[in-house]
């Protein structure tokens, strides 16, 4: 099947499929006319990558996961370790996002939001609260 059909079946844009081929995650067959040709196995691999990316795995982590998937002698402990590392990374990001949300909530709660020019949000962003001089 051509790249358009592969894109339709995998839910990935053709540009992304070309990128995955360029970096070696997927190696499409080439028809005699030079066009890419994708089999059901290619679609399965594209779907695998798509799902892994949706779960937050990086391209390099997808490469590792595909390598493990292709290795019949793999140990599931390796796969589990990758998943647990991703969970830890996500938990760290969630903590950081929660901290950002708390800071922004505090700033928004302390902003009058009226016709006055004073704004603690802008003061915080500019560093004026830290005693920094105004540059304009």
Alpha helices in the chain (DSSP H): 3-10, 14-22, 40-54, 59-70, 76-109, 120-126
Write out the two tokens for 38.
């994708």
Residue 37: beta bridge partners? 29
- Would you list the DSSP string of 7-28? HHHHT--HHHHHHHHHTTS---
- pLDDT tens string 38-62: 999 999 999 999 999 999 999 999 9
What 8-state DSSP symbol labels residue 114?
S
8-state DSSP, 136:
-
pLDDT of residue 15: 97
For the entire predicted model, the pTM comes to: 0.78
The predicted pLDDT at position 120 comes to 85
Token pair for residue 63?
């490469």
**Mean pLDDT in consecutive groups of 10 residues from the start of the chain, 136 residues:** 95 97 93 89 97 96 96 94 97 97 92 86 81 53
CATH class (in words) of the domain with range 1-74: mainly alpha
- Domain borders along the chain are 1-74, 79-136
Going by C-alpha positions, the residue among 49, 56, 54 that lies closest to residue 23 is: 49
């Amino acid at each position: 099947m051509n790249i358009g059909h592969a894109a339709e079946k995998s839910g990935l844009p053709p540009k992304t499929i070309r990128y995955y081929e360029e970096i070696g995650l997927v190696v499409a067959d080439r028809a005699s006319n030079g066009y890419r040709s994708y089999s059901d196995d290619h679609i399965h691999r594209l779907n695998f990558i798509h799902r892994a990316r949706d779960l937050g795995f990086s391209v390099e982590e997808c490469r590792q996961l595909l390598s493990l998937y292709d290795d019949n002698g793999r140990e599931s402990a390796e796969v589990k370790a990758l998943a647990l590392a991703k969970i830890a990374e996500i938990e760290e990001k969630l903590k950081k996002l929660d901290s950002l949300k708390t800071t922004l909530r505090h700033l928004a709660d302390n902003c009058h939001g009226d016709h006055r020019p004073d704004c603690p949000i802008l003061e915080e962003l500019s560093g004026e609260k830290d005693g920094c001089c105004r540059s304009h």
